[in-house]
Amino acid sequence: AAEFCGEHLCGILAADRNTLRTEPVEALRCAFGRLEDEWLALARAEELMDGTTAAVALLDRARGRCIVGNVGDSEVVLGTRDAGGTTSFQALTEVHHLKRSECEATRISQVGGRVWRGRLGHPKINPQVLSLSVSRAIGDLFFKDERYTDGQASGLTAEPYITAVEVCGKGIAEQFLLIGCDGLWDTVTYREASDFVFEQLAEGEDPQAISESLVRRARDAGSSDNITVMVVVM
């Protein structure tokens, strides 16, 4: 599912250039929906049960904006250094994890889904046997197709959280986006990660090398999950 989304997202966005140019927020929302539909169609045909989280950032240079969308616990952090040298960070995404989001737990309950020990339980099968840590994801056919749920709602959705922020404005000396999955954020805080990126940039390191260093840092800190990191300097 993750590979499919990575391979098809840009094509989906490019297919509707007019909306992407005039209404990038709506374009990104629609892209998540199309990714979901296309992956589920393939999943039904080939009985593929996997799913994926996603974090996507669109940089609108003409308007000086960054549009960010996510599902699940992949996150985007904006790091900023102002003209005076002060650094700061801002999380641009929501974490769709029932242990961390009371709003998501409430949403799941309202649609008739099952919250079990901070996880999303399968609507039909004992949640001790089958549950998810996230409440939003692309795919996961077993939680979405009525053949496997007996028509009962699980609450799992691919509807993204989307926000738009101004970037590269007056008084800003340096900015970057740090995109990572939970394998990074489970062991490295926003502050630790953003400070590390600033330090490495000041030493002349390139974004690829910094990303690889963050992967090693997360692994050394005890992360046992898959770890994906991308640093985008603006």
Pick the CATH number of 2-99+159-233 from 3.90.400.10, 3.40.50.300, 3.60.40.10, 3.20.20.105: 3.60.40.10
Looking at residue 168, its pLDDT comes to: 86
- Of 24, 5, 36, 17, nearest to 156 by C-alpha is 36
pLDDT for the residue 154? 97
Task: Output the pLDDT for position 62.
Answer: 85
Domain parsing of the chain, residue ranges? 2-99+159-233, 102-149
Confidence tier at 61 by pLDDT (50, 70, 90): confident
Cα pseudo-dihedral 6, 8, 9, 13, rounded to 10? 160
Q: Residues near 18 by Cβ (< 8 Å), separated by ≥ 6? A: none
Reported in sequence order, the residue ranges of 155-216 that DSSP labels E, i.e. its strands, are 161-166, 172-180
Question: pLDDT tens across 133-185, in order?
Answer: 999 999 999 999 999 999 999 999 999 999 999 998 888 899 999 999 999 99
* Helices 190-202 and 207-220, axial angle in degrees (round to 10): 140
| Predicted TM-score (pTM) above 0.85 | yes
CA–CA dist 122, 30 (Å, integer): 27
- Please enumerate in sequence order all residues whose Cβ is within 8 A of that of 15, keeping only pairs 6 or more positions apart, or say none: none
DSSP conformation class of 160: P
pLDDT above 70 covers a percentage of the chain that reads 100
